[in-house]
């Protein structure tokens, strides 16, 4: 099976428009995780097979997913699809299409949050237990914050964050025994907002 890329750069407007549909975003997010058939997606999403098949065709036509396996069972053929990458970003030529890009990223963020919620509900109780009052020793993260800083400074911080993710991925490639191995789920979102949600003391008075 062909290796899934970390990032795909979108180079055509039709690709961006394809990712401005909430159902296609949901399908794509599921196919980022693992290969699935149209029937599996239909059952998991509670949508008709014809509707799912229509959106699969659009995603495949725009090069966002690929057929990775085809199995014949009697007169039936099962086709498994997989997202070509884990993340999708527009090329600089597409950044001028603000509406399509903004709507695509909004839907991707919402879908990511929904997936995180479902994983939190399915996680074992032990995932949320702590054995120390020092949060620096915890093996979980759950926090919110707001900051007022220049956008350029925030961009620099985001670059450092991505360096930490790369470091984490390198650590995951190190050889360790099966007994030491644990699986951790990491999800982070950050975006600009118009009004602060965390009110200071003056607003509370």
Residue-wise DSSP of 144-182: -------HHHHHHHHHHHHHHHHHHHHHHTS---GGG--
The burial class, CB within 10 Å (0-12 / 13-18 / 19+), for 79 is: middle
Section 15-44 average pLDDT: 93
Nearest CA to 83 out of 65, 70, 67, 68 is that of 65
pLDDT digits (tens, 9 = 90+) for 80-119: 999 999 889 889 888 888 888 788 888 888 888 988 998 8
Nearest CA to 97 out of 191, 20, 189 is that of 20
Please state, rounded to an integer, the average pLDDT across all residues of the chain: 89
Q: Which residues, in sequence order, are bridge partners of residue 5?
A: 85
| CA 56 – CA 53 distance, rounded (Å) | 5
Q: C-alpha angle with apex 108: 198 to 120, nearest 5 degrees? A: 65
pLDDT digits (tens, 9 = 90+) for 120-160: 999 999 888 888 888 888 888 888 899 999 999 999 999 99
Checking phi first, is residue 63 left (phi over 0); if not, alpha (psi -120 to 50) or beta? Answer: left
Coil, strand or helix: which one is 203? helix
pTM over 0.85: no
Q: Which CATH number fits domain 5-123+138-199: 2.40.50.60, 1.10.10.10, 1.10.3720.10, 1.20.1440.230?
A: 1.10.10.10
Structure tokens at 201: 């003391």
CB contact burial 156-168 (16+ within 10 A = b; e otherwise):
eeeeeeeeeeeee
| CA 16 – CA 19 distance, rounded (Å) | 5
């Amino acid at each position: 099976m062909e290796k899934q890329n970390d990032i795909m750069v979108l180079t055509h407007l039709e690709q961006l428009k394809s990712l401005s549909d909430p159902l296609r975003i949901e399908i794509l997010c599921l196919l980022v995780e693992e290969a699935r058939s149209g029937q599996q997606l239909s059952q998991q999403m509670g949508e008709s097979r014809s509707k799912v098949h229509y959106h699969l065709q659009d995603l495949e036509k725009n090069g966002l997913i690929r057929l990775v396996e085809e199995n014949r069972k009697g007169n039936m053929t099962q086709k498994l699809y997989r997202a070509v990458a884990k993340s999708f970003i527009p090329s600089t030529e597409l950044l001028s299409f603000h509406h399509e890009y903004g709507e695509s990223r909004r839907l991707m963020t919402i879908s990511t949050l929904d997936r995180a919620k479902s994983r939190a509900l399915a996680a074992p109780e032990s995932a949320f237990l702590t054995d120390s009052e020092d949060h620096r020793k915890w093996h979980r993260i759950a926090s919110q914050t707001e900051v007022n800083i220049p956008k350029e400074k925030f961009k620099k911080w985001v670059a450092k964050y991505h360096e930490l993710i790369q470091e984490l991925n390198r650590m995951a490639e190190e050889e360790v025994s099966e007994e030491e191995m644990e699986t951790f789920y990491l999800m982070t979102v950050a975006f600009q907002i118009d009004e602060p949600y965390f009110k200071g003391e003056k607003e509370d008075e």
